């Protein structure tokens, strides 16, 4: 019955914004690194948490260890869009979804066909030289003969255009996200625990009619939602599209 309700909500609205987290991509076999147990050991046999290894200071001070972790644990180049990505792309093409706001860095929304995607944490597919600014593809980074990729023009370090811990989010992207959320009639939130700030704080800008939460575990916003669905995001969204 609850999915029929979601179907009705989607059917009557042409101003939907989707806000998603890691749970959207776990259905494409990209694990949420936060759920992993244990620590990562470097070649020097020192142990670090994923959060430490994905921090700005770790990147600056331990580039080889950073890239070993990044390439092996954060890059899933063969991942394909799942039903959630495809459903959202379809809803955008029908003029219903105005924007997809994502905390993910995998680019799967774009691969599925979504055009207006706001990437709060950047993308693995964009990389740039820290010295001259030259842009590089993910393929260049992964096929680099050195563990740390270097610019083929100036020799500077190439880094991914992703937001590391200790770094601020792109305020231009944040401003656009706030604008879409504040103007949305329906906000569908999926696959995020809503505990990571500042991204989770975006929900406070929503003043529309209907807040829908699709997540397998409880979130701090459950009591404020008009609908809470504890189920697979892809299956839930795709089911709501079926006639």
Active site residue 85: no
Neighbours of 131 (CB within 10 A): 14
Catalytic residue among 62, 85, 109, 121: 121
Are residue 149 and residue 183 in the same domain, yes or no?
no
Sheet strands (E) in 56-185: 97-102, 117-119, 122-129, 135-136, 158-162
Which structural domain range is residue 138 located in? 126-162
Are residue 139 and residue 220 in the same domain, yes or no?
no
Q: Per-residue pLDDT for the chain (243 aa), expressed as one digit of tens each?
A: 344 589 999 999 999 999 999 889 988 988 876 655 445 666 666 788 888 999 999 999 999 999 999 998 899 989 999 999 999 999 999 999 999 999 999 999 999 999 999 999 999 999 999 999 999 999 999 999 999 999 999 999 999 999 999 999 999 999 999 999 999 999 999 988 777 777 778 999 999 999 999 998 888 888 999 999 998 899 999 999 875
Pairing of strands 135-136, 122-129: antiparallel
Tell me the CATH number at 173.
Answer: 3.40.50.1220
Tokens linked to 39: 């620590």
Residue 39 has a pLDDT of 52
The answer for residues whose C-beta is within 8 angstroms of residue 203's C-beta and 6 or more apart is 19, 181, 187, 189, 194, 211, 221
Looking at the DSSP assignment, which residues form a beta bridge with residue 212? 188, 227
Residue 34 has a pLDDT of 60
Are residue 92 and residue 149 in the same domain, yes or no?
no
Q: With 0.85 as the threshold, say if the pTM is over it.
A: yes
Are residue 53 and residue 86 in the same domain, yes or no?
no
Are residue 26 and residue 37 in the same domain, yes or no?
no
Are residue 229 and residue 175 in the same domain, yes or no?
yes
Residue 47 has a pLDDT of 82
Are residue 185 and residue 236 in the same domain, yes or no?
yes
CA 227 from chain centre, in angstroms, equals: 22
Pairing of strands 210-214, 227-229: parallel
Are residue 135 and residue 18 in the same domain, yes or no?
no
Residue 218 has a pLDDT of 86
Tell me the CATH number at 132.
Answer: 3.30.1600.10
Are residue 177 and residue 237 in the same domain, yes or no?
yes
Pairing of strands 117-119, 97-102: parallel
**Structural domain tally of the chain?**
3
Whose tokens are 């954060």? That residue is 74
């Amino acid at each position: 019955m609850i999915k029929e309700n979601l179907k009705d909500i989607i059917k009557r609205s042409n101003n939907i914004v989707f806000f998603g987290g890691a749970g959207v991509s776990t259905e494409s076999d990209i694990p949420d690194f936060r759920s992993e147990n244990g620590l990562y050991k470097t070649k020097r046999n020192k142990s670090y948490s994923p959060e430490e290894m994905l921090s700005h200071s770790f990147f600056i001070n331990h580039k080889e260890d950073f890239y070993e972790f990044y390439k092996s644990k954060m890059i899933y180049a063969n991942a394909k869009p799942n039903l959630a990505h495809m459903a959202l792309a379809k809803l955008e093409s029908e003029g219903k979804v105005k924007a997809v706001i994502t905390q993910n860095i995998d680019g799967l929304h774009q691969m599925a066909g979504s055009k207006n995607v706001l990437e709060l944490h950047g993308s693995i597919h964009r990389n740039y030289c820290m010295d001259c600014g030259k842009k590089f593809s993910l393929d260049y980074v992964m096929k680099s003969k050195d563990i740390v990729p270097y610019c083929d023009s100036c020799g500077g370090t190439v880094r991914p255009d992703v937001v590391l811990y200790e770094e601020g989010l792109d305020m231009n992207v944040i401003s656009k996200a706030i604008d879409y959320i504040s103007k949305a009639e329906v906000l569908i939130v999926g696959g995020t625990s809503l505990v990571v700030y500042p991204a989770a704080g975006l929900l406070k800008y929503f003043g529309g009619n209907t807040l829908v939460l699709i997540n397998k575990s409880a979130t701090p916003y459950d009591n404020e939602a008009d609908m809470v669905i504890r189920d697979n995001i892809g299956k839930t969204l795709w089911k709501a599209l079926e006639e």
